[in-house]
Structure 1
Amino acid sequence: MDHYPGENSMPETVDKTRVLDVKPIRCLLPIFPSSPNPQGAPFACAPPTGPFPPGVSPFYPFFTPSDHSQTPISNAVPINSFRTTANGTAGPSKRGRKKRVQPPQEAVEDISDEEDTSQRRRRRGRPRGDVNSEVDTDAAVEDILASFNLVEFDSNRRTEGDKESVAYVRLVFDLLRRKLTQIDELRGENPGAARRPDLKAGTVLLHKGIRTNVKRRVGAVPGVEIGDIFFFRIEMCVVGLHAPSMSGIDYMSVRIGENEEPIAVSIVASGGYGDNDEDADVLIYSGHGGNENADQKLERGNLALEKSLHRGNEVRVIRGIKEANSYSAKIYVYDGLYKIQESWIDKGKTGFSVFKYKLARLPGQAAGWATWKMIQQWKDGLISRDGVILPDLTSGAEKIPVSLVNDIDGEKGPSYFNYVPTLKYPRPLSPVEGSVGCFCHGGCTVGNAASCTCHQKNGHDMVYLANGIMVTPKVLIHECGSSCQCPPTCRNRVSQGGLRVRLEVFRTRNKGWGLRSWDFIRAGSYICEYAGEVVHESLADELWGENEEDYIFDATRSYRPMEIMPADFNEPAKMPFPMIISAKTSGNVARFMNHSCFPNVFWQPVSRQNDKECDLHIVFYAIKHIPPMTELTYNYGMVTPEESNQRRKTCFCGAEKCRGYFY
């Protein structure tokens, strides 16, 4: 217990014989009456799992929902990791924990937020502008959640997911995680093991009920597709793919006659136990438990895997891949359904017993892990890419080559055009507003944010995290430019310097040419800009001739990248002037991006500081995590009613809610 001055001194009027020798509060389970009972005992203690005396019930984080009574109490959030206010909403701890936060494994019921952020701020007496105060984190969380229409995310969506609800939850999670990472950075804290903004974001969503596929199941999870990538285990938890945020084996109980037994529903093969994952269709998985000085036991997850072997049920497999830029140095790829074929006991490196399980991938599934291995072989030169027409479409204009590939038909390539990596203005244009650059000689950082003019133009926010990920979209981003004193490596120049992922232009089956990446692309990452020649508005009508519109970008159109996007995504772009770009004769890879009614890319106007002439660009960023070899698409937008009939085309995007046409 915490000690305070003078606590050992006791007034003479106190009967010392009635003072109890109690244990610290963390060792006990406080239980309060569920209804007033003046005759009953005012306080009672019971084990975390019960039984409980009549008229009392446990409070969070010790309670277990009645429909998931078998949830281990150890999976509850530690009481000192997140503050729970009087109304039940969660907030971050005052102290950064050194250990990982273990969020609840099962769903937490929605709790109404009767006290708004401003009331909490007044009650705590902390100003909103103090970045070191807790209320800033609370306000940031509430602001992001308020930008989504959470009312429509009802109990049905939480229980049974689909592609849209999974995308919704993951979008909210990642925007929240990025914002919490930014707050940690503003405080001068390293968002590593002690801070873990991913666990904070995930725990907030679990407490708020912003999750899907809560219902535990054997087999595929609705809305989660083979090949989907995750950067944090808590991401898998909020979409129902793998419930434990730390354990590698997820299992549930099933009734067999009058008895119940555990069966495995999913495993994460992260390579931490010497798993053999070289074969794309077979996995040798090591059990959990034990240590360097003890044998593993046939209990919990190990027992569940053994039971699944005899029952023959399907098990979801998530494979870990080494990735230096993620917190855990891994990313996770959902590889589909497997079945356990055999098990045995082996000796580990220290000589103690380890359970081994051989799992085989079910045939007929889409490629997942196999795609990653194939691409790595392309990069290493071990095998050649089939259907390559040109190894580098850019002819060296980009620092990373862009392949031109057709493994569909006999088409030899798109019509000729001159590859240019950036935008061209046919004549200099005066800047719309004064554009005095910054004087951050060592680069724009959080430390010099107060004096950075570019930072001030962005609403006193750092637009990008240290790893180049956009924090939140803006109607207009101000990047450093030619009038700034910062170096080319400045973090506020993310959209400059060319391509950063290995792209290929490929032949689609029904949409002509398309664009995709050999590399995974993280949500919020820069992809490319739309290069070409800026066309004056007076000449725009001449562009809409036969096939000309296939290579036109019209920033005057209105668009919504996704129906579930928050308000910031759906605000009209703040264009200083009507901007139309033609990429018919000169352009880059962006000219090959097709339309989709459910896209994975959005565009953003970006102004680069230049005091002599206008320097506005159209830049593309990832809406969500994009697996390798996934087509990159964006929403082309809407035209005026007068133009709609003559420009309407049939849409072949294949989205579940495709509107059937685009312009």
Structure 2
Amino acid sequence: MDINKFDWTEGLENKEIYSNDKVLIFKLKNSKYITQNIPGPGCEMEDFEEKLLGCQCLACDRDCKCTVQYGNSYNDKKIDVSLLESSVTPVFECNSNCSCASKCQNRVVQHGIGAQLQIFNTDKKGLGLQTLEKMQTGTFVCEYAGEIISLQEAQSRCNKQKDTDMNYILTVKEHCKNGILKTYVDPNKFGNIGRYINHSCSPNLSMVPIRVDTMVPKVCLFANRDIEPLEELSFVYGTLRPDQKTGSKCYCYSNICTGFMPFDEELKGSQV
């Protein structure tokens, strides 16, 4: 198969993704494209290897055991808006062990990117991602995919970074009965189109961890409001502290901008 040399996804997504200046891909693309998370140093390999059980539905309905156990998260392929406001409720899609068809209403993020997106060069934030079409609230945009690594590996990588280096490591926190489950995703060397989405203190995307075949969460980004064509896509990188007075400057230009980028202080915990 011939791969379009201007396609940032290297032919791996449903839709090719270009930049508004085609030269950018040769100047600024420095990672290997992947469509979903891959195991990295220190990760729990059994989380990748142990497959989830599936339903035996021919056509999933209210009796489908996948949705009975965890709830129906989608309506007309758009996520329930309440899930964009809370990370308490776990989301599981039907998976490869299910008997239902690929068009099942409980299969959305596993089908990949469905909207037409574009890479562009921002004024102060480096590369960014924008949509070329209107998106309705609840629309799935893309994953934030990369290497799944341990806390120790995340700390080691952060401490090796220079002040001028971009930090892509994302700490995903999920509340469960045993406390807070943390997943560390690094798309720096291996990542998908999500690595180009910038932070905003007033974002138009919300992050929802979703599981499909394994217990490794897909970090999925959905429109939390209607988004117009050529609007830059953004999400919150972490917990925002209004009193934060240090760190990388934020250029989201939001009315509620804190002035600085959020950062997980735990990632500074181990010096190497």
**The two structures share one fold, judged by TM-score above 0.5:** yes
SS of match in other structure, 2:207: strand
Alignment of 1:57-96 (within 5 A): none
Alignment of 1:407-418 (within 5 A): 413-418=27-32
Alignment match, 1:231: none
Alignment match, 2:227: 626
- Answer whether contact 1:457 1:478 (CA < 8 A) is retained: no
Runs of 4+ aligned structure 1 residues displaced above 6 Å come to: none
SS of match in other structure, 1:491: coil
How far residue 638 of structure 1 moved from its aligned partner, in angstroms, is 2.3
Alignment match, 2:238: 637
The structure 1 residue matched to 2:10, chosen from 375, 383, 395, is 395
The structure 2 residue matched to 1:468, chosen from 74, 77, 84, is 77
Q: RCO greater where, 1 or 2, for CA within 8 Å and sep 6 or more? A: 2
Percent identical pairs in the alignment equals 26
SS of match in other structure, 1:649: coil
- Answer whether contact 1:423 1:534 (CA < 8 A) is retained: yes
Measure, in 2, the Cα distance between the counterparts of 1:606 and 1:658.
28
Alignment match, 2:154: 540
Measure, in 1, the Cα distance between the counterparts of 2:130 and 2:47.
36
Measure, in 2, the Cα distance between the counterparts of 1:656 and 1:639.
14
Q: Does 1:661 align with 2:243?
A: no
- Answer whether contact 2:77 2:108 (CA < 8 A) is retained: yes
Measure, in 2, the Cα distance between the counterparts of 1:410 and 1:533.
24
**Structure 2 gap segments, 5+ residues each:** 263-272
- Alignment RMSD (CA, Å): 2.9
Q: Does 1:428 align with 2:27?
A: no
The structure 2 residue matched to 1:651, chosen from 250, 253, 272, is 250
Superimposed CA distance per residue, residues 147-172 of structure 1 (whole angstroms, 9 cap, x where no aligned partner):
xxxxxxxxxxxxxxxxxxxxxxxxxx
Q: Does 1:437 align with 2:54?
A: yes
How far residue 543 of structure 1 moved from its aligned partner, in angstroms, is 2.0
SS of match in other structure, 2:219: strand
Alignment of 1:225-240 (within 5 A): none
Alignment match, 1:272: none
Alignment match, 2:267: none
Measure, in 1, the Cα distance between the counterparts of 2:65 and 2:134.
34
Change (3 A) 1:637 1:602: same
How far residue 424 of structure 1 moved from its aligned partner, in angstroms, is 1.0
- Answer whether contact 1:484 1:609 (CA < 8 A) is retained: no
Measure, in 1, the Cα distance between the counterparts of 2:148 and 2:108.
22
Superimposed CA distance per residue, residues 361-405 of structure 1 (whole angstroms, 9 cap, x where no aligned partner):
xxxxxxxxxxxxxxxxxxxxxxxxxxxx96411121112010023
Measure, in 2, the Cα distance between the counterparts of 1:483 and 1:411.
38
- Answer whether contact 2:170 2:186 (CA < 8 A) is retained: yes
- Answer whether contact 1:607 1:617 (CA < 8 A) is retained: yes
Measure, in 1, the Cα distance between the counterparts of 2:175 and 2:166.
21
- Answer whether contact 1:551 1:591 (CA < 8 A) is retained: yes
Measure, in 2, the Cα distance between the counterparts of 1:511 and 1:420.
23
- Answer whether contact 2:19 2:119 (CA < 8 A) is retained: yes
How far residue 628 of structure 1 moved from its aligned partner, in angstroms, is 0.5
Q: What is the one-letter code of the residue matched to 1:625?
A: D
Judging by fraction of residues, say which structure has more helix: 1
Measure, in 2, the Cα distance between the counterparts of 1:420 and 1:512.
21
How far residue 512 of structure 1 moved from its aligned partner, in angstroms, is 0.4
SS of match in other structure, 2:106: helix
SS of match in other structure, 2:152: helix
Alignment of 1:486-565 (within 5 A): 486-544=100-158, 545-546=161-162, 549-556=166-173
Alignment of 1:32-71 (within 5 A): none
Superimposed CA distance per residue, residues 595-624 of structure 1 (whole angstroms, 9 cap, x where no aligned partner):
1011100101112244xxx33211000000
- Answer whether contact 1:390 1:405 (CA < 8 A) is retained: no
Measure, in 2, the Cα distance between the counterparts of 1:406 and 1:453.
47
**Structure 1 gap segments, 5+ residues each:** 1-388, 557-571
Change (3 A) 1:486 1:579: same
Measure, in 2, the Cα distance between the counterparts of 1:592 and 1:483.
33
Measure, in 2, the Cα distance between the counterparts of 1:496 and 1:410.
29
Measure, in 1, the Cα distance between the counterparts of 2:19 and 2:117.
9
- Answer whether contact 1:543 1:549 (CA < 8 A) is retained: no
SS of match in other structure, 2:194: helix
SS of match in other structure, 1:413: helix
How far residue 645 of structure 1 moved from its aligned partner, in angstroms, is 7.3
The structure 2 residue matched to 1:616, chosen from 197, 202, 217, is 217
How far residue 581 of structure 1 moved from its aligned partner, in angstroms, is 0.7
Change (3 A) 1:639 1:658: closer
Q: What is the one-letter code of the residue matched to 1:553?
A: L
Measure, in 1, the Cα distance between the counterparts of 2:153 and 2:240.
17
- Answer whether contact 1:421 1:587 (CA < 8 A) is retained: yes
Change (3 A) 1:591 1:627: same
Alignment match, 2:265: none
SS of match in other structure, 1:480: coil
Alignment of 1:115-130 (within 5 A): none
Measure, in 2, the Cα distance between the counterparts of 1:633 and 1:650.
16
TM-score using structure 1 length:
0.34
Change (3 A) 1:662 1:496: same
Q: What is the one-letter code of the residue matched to 1:598?
A: S
How far residue 549 of structure 1 moved from its aligned partner, in angstroms, is 4.9
Measure, in 2, the Cα distance between the counterparts of 1:424 and 1:579.
13
Change (3 A) 1:453 1:573: same
Measure, in 2, the Cα distance between the counterparts of 1:410 and 1:549.
17
Q: Does 1:457 align with 2:69?
A: yes
Rg bigger for which structure? 1
SS of match in other structure, 1:578: strand
Alignment match, 1:158: none
Alignment match, 1:593: 197
SS of match in other structure, 1:631: coil
Measure, in 2, the Cα distance between the counterparts of 1:580 and 1:423.
11
- Answer whether contact 1:599 1:635 (CA < 8 A) is retained: yes
